[in-house]
Structure 1
Amino acid sequence: MRILVVCGAGASSTFVAQRVRRAAQERGMDHSASAGTARSLPIDLDSADLVLVGPHLATDLDRIRDDAARRGVVVVLLPDDIFADVTGARTLALVEEALRVREPADTM
């Protein structure tokens, strides 16, 4: 699973990506996580399976979802308090939930 975390400038997304990657490794999951920006998103989508969108980009969510859907990429809007998730466990749970929700549609 290739996770892309997107924020405005790339700083906060870097922290979230590091934390979710570490949480996945601790659980023995083969997930990678990288950080990106709203500006680099059109290029970065090609190397992602799932995009975690920073809460401050909520106004761009429809456009991001449209771009991602064309590539079969799942998009999750992160909650406002996600930056307090210092272990990455809560963020990883959001990833797992998004994948569970997607599963039934993939088998149709």
Structure 2
Amino acid sequence: MRILVVCGAGASSTFVAQRLRQAATAAGRDWQTAAGTESTVSSAFADLILIGPHLADRVSVIRNATDTPVALLPSDVFGDRDGTRTLALVDAALSAAPPDAATSTHLPSTAKGTP
């Protein structure tokens, strides 16, 4: 599984990608994660693209630039210090994504008290 985490400059996505990779490894999954910017989406070789919440207004543009499923991360993703909530969100996005079809998935917030 190859996952690209996209943000504006690539800095915050680096943290999310590292934490997601650590959580996946701890769960026995051999996943590759990478950080990138919107400009890397069209050339990315990924199975899933995760979009930072601050790029929510760009999701349709990003989705149109790729055939890869796209999921919008919730605004509290940066508080996921060990990556386990992000891993669960990726699992949800992958189960919601039809095989071999581009899709846009909005991942729910994982903040306490949020449904």
TM-score by length of 1: 0.87
Task: State the one-letter code of the partner of 1:26.
Answer: A
Deviation at 1:6, TM superposition (A): 0.2
Residue by residue over 1:18-51, the C-alpha shift from the partner in whole angstroms, topping out at 9 and shown as x without a partner, is 000000000001211000011222222xx11100
1:38 aligned residue: 38
Q: Distance in 1 between matches of 2:52 and 2:42?
A: 16
Task: State the one-letter code of the partner of 2:31.
Answer: H
Equivalenced residue count is: 100
2:62 aligned residue: 64
1:29 aligned residue: 29
Task: State the one-letter code of the partner of 1:74.
Answer: P
Q: Distance in 2 between matches of 1:61 and 1:101?
A: 17
Contact 2:41 2:65 in 1 (8 A): no
Match 1:74 to one of 55, 66, 69 = 69
Answer 1 or 2: higher relative contact order, Cα 8 Å, separation at least 6.
1
Match 1:101 to one of 96, 104, 108 = 96
Deviates more, 1:57-66 or 1:2-11: 57-66
TM-score by length of 2: 0.82
Deviation at 1:85, TM superposition (A): 0.3
Match 1:86 to one of 81, 85, 88 = 81
Q: Distance in 2 between matches of 1:41 and 1:79?
A: 19
Residue by residue over 1:31-76, the C-alpha shift from the partner in whole angstroms, topping out at 9 and shown as x without a partner, is 11000011222222xx1110000001111100111222xx2x1111
Q: Distance in 1 between matches of 2:62 and 2:34?
A: 17
